[in-house]
C-alpha cells in the first residue's frame, strides 16, 4: 500500500506560519535488496515534495535489512560511499532535507559497523551524524523469539548529536535509545533541542507493548516534538517490525501516524510558537534541578 496521510487540522497542524514548517515521517519495509529500497525511498521523497514538506524522516535500516546479522557487513561503507551518495542526490533532486535514520557505516574493523543516523540538507551536505549509543542486546525469551545481540556486529557510538534544520533544532537518536530518557533530557536542557528524532525498527512484541507510550512520554517530558519514522511488516523469515510511524507534539498528542503495515508518509506541521507556549505554560526548564544536587538517603 502507498498512502499519504495528512494530520487533521489542530492547534499543532494549522496553517503554516513563520514558526511552522511542514514535514513528513516515513514508513517502509526494507529488505536485503538495496536497489529496491532506494526506489521506495525515492517514491517517499516524491510524496513529501508534493505535500510541500521541508524534511522527510526515514527509519533505521532504511537502505538495507539483511537476513542474518552479518549481512550488513557486506554492504557497509564510509559516509562518502556510493550508496549514500545516491541518497544525498535524492535530497538535492527533491529539494528536501533528509533524516537517514540508521545507515551501515563502515566500522572500526571488518567485523563491525556503526549504526549511523545522518541529517542531509537539501544541498546534499551532511549536517549531522550520530552513531547509535545504546545497542539492542536483548533476550526476551518466548516473548520475542531469539536473542538479539546488536553489539555482535555493531560498535556503539559515544557522542550526542544535534543540528539546526528548517523545522527547528534536532536531537538525534536511534530506536533503542528511546528507552533512555536521560539522553533526551540532555538534548532538551543542555542543547535546547526542539524536535527529537527516533527512527526505528521496533520488534512487533516490544512495539505493541511500549512504542507509542514511550514516544509520548519523551515528548511530554522534554516538551518537544518527537518524530519517529518506522520500519513495518515482514522483512525476511523470522524478522518483522512494528510500524506505526508517528509525530507527537510537545503536549503528548499524536498529530500524524501510519498503521503497522503500510508504506508511505504521514504529514504534520511543526509549530515552534506552540512549542514555546507549552514550555512557558509548564516551565520545567526553570524548575528542573540537576540530579547531582539531590541527597541520597538510604533507610
DSSP state at residue 250: T
Instruction: Give the residue among 64, 79, 87 at the shortest CA–CA distance from 239.
Output: 64
Active site residue 175: yes
Of 151, 167, 139, residue with least CA distance to 17: 167
Joined grid coordinates for residue 229: 519514522
Q: Which of 175, 193, 204, 262 is catalytic?
A: 175
Q: Specify the 3-state DSSP secondary structure of 273.
A: helix
Let me know how long the chain is. Answer: 299
Which residues does residue 103 pair with via DSSP β-bridges, in sequence order? Answer: 116
Query: What 3-state DSSP class applies to 50?
Result: helix
Task: Name the catalytic one among 21, 88, 132, 204.
Answer: 132
> What grid cell was written down for 115?
549504526
Long-range Cβ pairs for the range 67-73 (8 Å, 24+): 67/32, 67/236, 67/237, 67/239, 69/149, 69/150, 69/152, 69/153, 70/153, 71/32, 72/104, 72/113, 72/153, 73/104, 73/110, 73/111, 73/112, 73/113, 73/153
Look up 286 and say whether it is catalytic: no
Q: How far apart are CA 28 and CA 117, in angstroms?
A: 16
Helices 212-222 and 181-189 meet at what angle, rounded to 10? 30
Given 60, 105, 150, 262, the catalytic residue: 60
Asked if 23 is an active-site residue, the reply is: no
Find cell 538495507 and name the residue: 64
For residue 7, the 8-state DSSP code is P
d(CA 154, CA 69): 9
CA angle 57, 138, 67 (to 5 degrees): 65
Question: Would you please indicate which residues are annotated as catalytic (active-site) residues?
Answer: 60, 132, 175
Amino acid at each position: 500500500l502507498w498512502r499519504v496521510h495528512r494530520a487533521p487540522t489542530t492547534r499543532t497542524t494549522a496553517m503554516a506560519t513563520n514558526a511552522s514548517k511542514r514535514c513528513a515521517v516515513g514508513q517502509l519495509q526494507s529488505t536485503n535488496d538495496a536497489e529496491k529500497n532506494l526506489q521506495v525511498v525515492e517514491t517517499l521523497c516524491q510524496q513529501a515534495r508534493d505535500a510541500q514538506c521541508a524534511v522527510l524522516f526515514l527509519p533505521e535500516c532504511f537502505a538495507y535489512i539483511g537476513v542474518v546479522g552479518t549481512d550488513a557487513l557486506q554492504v557497509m561503507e564510509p559516509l562518502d560511499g556510493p550508496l549514500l551518495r545516491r541518497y544525498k542526490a535524492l535530497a538535492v533532486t527533491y529539494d528536501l532535507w533528509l533524516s537517514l535514520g540508521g545507515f551501515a557505516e563502515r566500522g572500526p574493523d571488518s567485523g563491525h559497523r556503526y549504526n549511523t543516523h545522518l541529517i542531509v540538507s537539501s544541498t546534499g551536505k551532511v549536517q549531522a551524524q550520530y552513531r547509535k549509543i545504546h545497542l539492542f542486546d536483548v533476550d526476551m525469551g518466548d516473548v520475542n523469539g531469539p536473542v538479539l545481540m546488536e553489539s555482535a556486529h555493531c560498535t556503539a557510538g559515544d557522542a550526542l548529536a544535534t543540528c539546526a534544520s528548517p523545522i527547528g533544532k534536532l536531537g538525534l537518536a536511534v530506536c533503542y535509545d528511546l528507552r533512555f530518557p536521560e539522553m533526551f533530557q540532555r538534548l532538551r536542557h543542555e542543547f535546547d533541542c526542539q524536535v527529537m528524532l527516533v527512527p526505528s525498527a521496533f520488534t512487533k512484541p516490544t512495539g505493541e507493548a511500549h512504542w507509542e507510550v514511550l514516544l509520548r512520554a519523551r515528548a511530554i517530558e522534554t516538551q518537544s516534538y518527537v518524530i519517529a519514522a518506522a520500519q513495518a511488516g515482514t522483512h525476511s523469515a523470522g524478522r518483522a517490525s512494528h510500524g506505526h510511524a508517528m509525530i507527537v507534539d510537545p503536549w503528548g498528542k499524536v498529530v500524524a501516524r501510519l498503521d503497522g503495515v503500510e508504506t508511505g508518509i504521514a504529514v504534520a506541521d511543526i509549530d515552534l510558537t506552540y512549542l514555546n507556549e507549552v514550555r512557558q505554560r509548564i516551565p520545567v526548564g526553570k524548575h528542573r534541578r540537576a540530579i547531582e544536587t539531590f541527597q541520597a538517603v538510604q533507610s
